[in-house]
Amino acid sequence: MCSIDPSIDPLISFVGVFGYGAVVKYRIEEALGRIAPHIRRTECKPAPAISTSVDGEVFLKLENTQHSGSFKTRGVLNKILSLSKEDSQKLLVTASTGNHAAAFAHALQLFGLRGKLFMPTTSAAVKIDNMRSTGVPFELVGHDCVEAEAHAAAFARSGGHVWISPYNDPEVVNGQGTVAVEVVEQLDTIDTVLAPVGGGGLISGIAGYLEAVDPSIEVIGCQPINSCVMYESIRAGEIVDILSLPTISDGTAGGIEKGSITFDLCRRYVDDFVLLEEKEIIAAMRLLHEEEGVSIEGAAALPAAAVLKERTRFAGRRIVLIVSGGRVDEATLARVLTDDREETT
């Protein structure tokens, strides 16, 4: 290990001596050290039913059991704990309709901080009610998540507040990447990791870390066909603005902020994508509930749906599915578990 002048950012020293991959590894492991006292080290448990179905060895990384119900807590906490004392006392501002908002509210309560949330005017009533119950001040603005994020970021800049992006921030990405650190510690060998993709913060952190630790591990992003903005952006070579149709994977739905760091990270580190139809996502949610005892939201079922869709491809492999969140409302879960198996959206 090189000696690092404390007056110099370790990033600069590490790039010069070890290369960019070592910087990613360093930053993500640093993030885990920072947030470890405040998160759960979630279980990575065998999934016998899926393993049998695909003739492989499948594990579920249960981020649905994380504080606030999803992996988002990792990124929010790392960002907040990376702030200077002065900035942490300012108004913290973010935008979200779901898991990031819940993680933000959890962090504010945990550290006794002030914050404000912006949500799209199209947010579901249940999500608005959920946020109201947290006591965090919020405002409805814009027709989708990209518009709400742009408004919130502008509000933060104009008022001298602190903007907490749901995904477009290195410290948020590094926090999400701590999932991969735990997985590598929990399993001695891994062939493939599959994760859901929305804005790309989760898979960027995971893929960046795994590339530095073991480039042979394949990282696959999973998106619903009805809203596959990252996939289409990578195909186009730039972030594109495309219409997103309704999807049960609402946690990954919507556009990507122009200039987001996650676009380049996904292009660099994610090996492939699998796109899922609604019926495939629903079938995976049902199987996880009935056979693996895991009740999850639509986005969290994307990796399982991808493996089940492409069984031959994954046969004989040791696979980790990132179960990203468990915030599914009772009405949606009830519909998923009914016999009407083609119309649940």
Cα separation of 155 and 141, whole Å? 12
What's the predicted TM-score (pTM) here? 0.91
**What is the amino acid identity at position 239?**
I
Tens digit of each residue's pLDDT (9 = 90 or more) over 22-49: 889 999 999 999 999 999 999 999 999 9
- Percent of all residues in the chain with a pLDDT value above 70, rounded to a whole number: 92
Is residue 2 over pLDDT 50?
A: no
| pLDDT confidence of residue 1 | 30
pLDDT, averaged across the chain: 90
* Over residues 1-25, mean pLDDT: 51
Which tokens belong to 144?
Answer: 């989708």
Q: H or E segment at 342? A: none
Higher per-residue confidence, 129 vs 76: 76
DSSP E strands, 249-332: 272-276, 318-323
Cα separation of 222 and 235, whole Å? 15
Band of residue 131 on the pLDDT scale cut at 50, 70, 90: confident
Residue 213 burial (CB count, 10 A):
18
Band of residue 336 on the pLDDT scale cut at 50, 70, 90: confident
Which tokens belong to 158?
Answer: 């104009």
Average the pLDDT over each of 64-78, 192-206, 216-230, 330-344 and give the range with the smallest value. 330-344
Q: List the end-to-end C-alpha distance of the chain, in Å, as a whole number.
A: 52
- Sheet with 192-196: list strands edge to edge: 44-46, 57-62, 318-323, 192-196, 218-224, 272-276
Q: Which of 88, 89, 118, 113 is nearest to 101 (CA)?
A: 118
Higher per-residue confidence, 342 vs 57: 57
DSSP codes, 48-84: HHHHHHHTSEEEEEEGGGSGGGBTHHHHHHHHHHHS-
Q: Give yes or no for a contact between 70 and 22, defined as CB atoms under 8 angstroms apart.
A: no
| pLDDT confidence of residue 130 | 82
Supply the CATH classification number for the domain 38-70+169-336.
Answer: 3.40.50.1100
Which tokens belong to 86?
Answer: 């002065």
Question: Phi, psi (5° rounding) for residue 62?
Answer: -85, 70
- CA distances for 293 relative to 50, 207, 287, 288, angstroms: 12, 27, 9, 6
Higher per-residue confidence, 208 vs 14: 208
Residue 111 burial (CB count, 10 A):
13
Residues 323-338: b if buried by 16+ CB within 10 A, e if exposed: bbbbbbeeebeeebee
Which tokens belong to 18?
Answer: 């070890």
- CA distances for 11 relative to 33, 155, 179, 267, angstroms: 17, 30, 21, 22
Higher per-residue confidence, 89 vs 127: 89
Tens digit of each residue's pLDDT (9 = 90 or more) over 174-199: 999 999 999 999 999 999 999 999 99
| pLDDT confidence of residue 209 | 97
Pick the CATH number of 72-163 from 3.40.50.720, 3.40.50.1100, 3.30.390.10, 1.20.1600.10: 3.40.50.1100
The sign of the dihedral angle between the CA atoms of 217, 218, 219, 224 is negative
Intervals of CATH 3.40.50.1100 along the chain: 38-70+169-336, 72-163
Cα separation of 233 and 214, whole Å? 26
